[in-house]
Structure 1
Amino acid sequence: MTFRIDHERTFTRTIEPVGGGSFDAEFRVLPDEQFEEVTGAGADNEKAALRKILKSVGGVVGGGEELPSSPEVIEQLIGYLDIRLALFAAYTRGVREARAGN
């Protein structure tokens, strides 16, 4: 089996925010230099990083209906600290699992 470095690498994790419920998040795996460009302390840097690594979301409900993944839905989600923390935790776990070969 070969490994293609020239394509977008992604993985999906289930996110469980504070208060119950869950949704799926599809993440992009960024090269270190791209990830480091947007990381840093503060909500603005966290949101910038998530805009780069978060490709799509699924299972998010609004107004009684499932919402299609969109930049607007992602912006609503990353506007909450608990959801940002859950997304970063899921991204970190996913990348670590990939490094371990799982």
Structure 2
Amino acid sequence: MAFRLATDRRFTADVQIRSESFTATFRVLSDAELAAHDFETREGQQTFLRAAITEVSGVLDADGTPIPSSPQLLDEMLGYSDLRFALLSAHTKGFLQAKTGN
């Protein structure tokens, strides 16, 4: 069976924040795209996550109403270090699982 090299590869991962969670869909970035990001800075992490995340789902407002995925929602979420670190962790775990086929 032949392998098709898809340039738009994606995976979905659960993002755990304490006892709550939501789901994020990530694009698989090329090595060149990854090299352009400085993961040591807040700005670099935010820029990477904006490039990698295509959608978040399962996010509710304070009243429990679902918030639709949007660039504005992602920007708001990336302004909090605990959410940013959880997204980075979910990306790493999800990428490794997708890579190994698990």
Q: TM-score, normalised by structure 1?
A: 0.88
Equivalence map 1:1-102=2 (5 Å): 1-18=1-18, 20-64=19-63, 65-102=65-102
Unpaired runs of 5+ residues, structure 1, are none
Residues 23-61 of structure 1 deviation map (CA, whole Å, 9 limit, x = unaligned): 110001001110110233111111000000111100111
Superposition CA RMSD, Å: 1.6
1:66 is paired with a residue whose SS is coil
**Identical counterparts, % of pairs:** 35
**2:58 is matched by which residue type in structure 1?**
G
Deviation at 1:2, TM superposition (A): 4.2
**2:43 is matched by which residue type in structure 1?**
D
**2:32 is matched by which residue type in structure 1?**
E
Query: Could you tell me how far apart the structure 2 residues matched to 1:3 and 1:36 are?
Result: 26
Unpaired runs of 5+ residues, structure 2, are none
Q: TM-score, normalised by structure 2?
A: 0.88
Alpha carbons 2:8, 2:28 under 8 Å: kept: yes
Query: Could you tell me how far apart the structure 1 residues matched to 2:50 and 2:42 are?
Result: 12
Query: Could you tell me how far apart the structure 1 residues matched to 2:47 and 2:97 are?
Result: 24
**2:97 is matched by which residue type in structure 1?**
E
Deviation at 1:95, TM superposition (A): 1.6
**2:4 is matched by which residue type in structure 1?**
R
Between Structure 1 and Structure 2, how many residues are aligned? 101
Query: Could you tell me how far apart the structure 2 residues matched to 1:23 and 1:68 are?
Result: 12
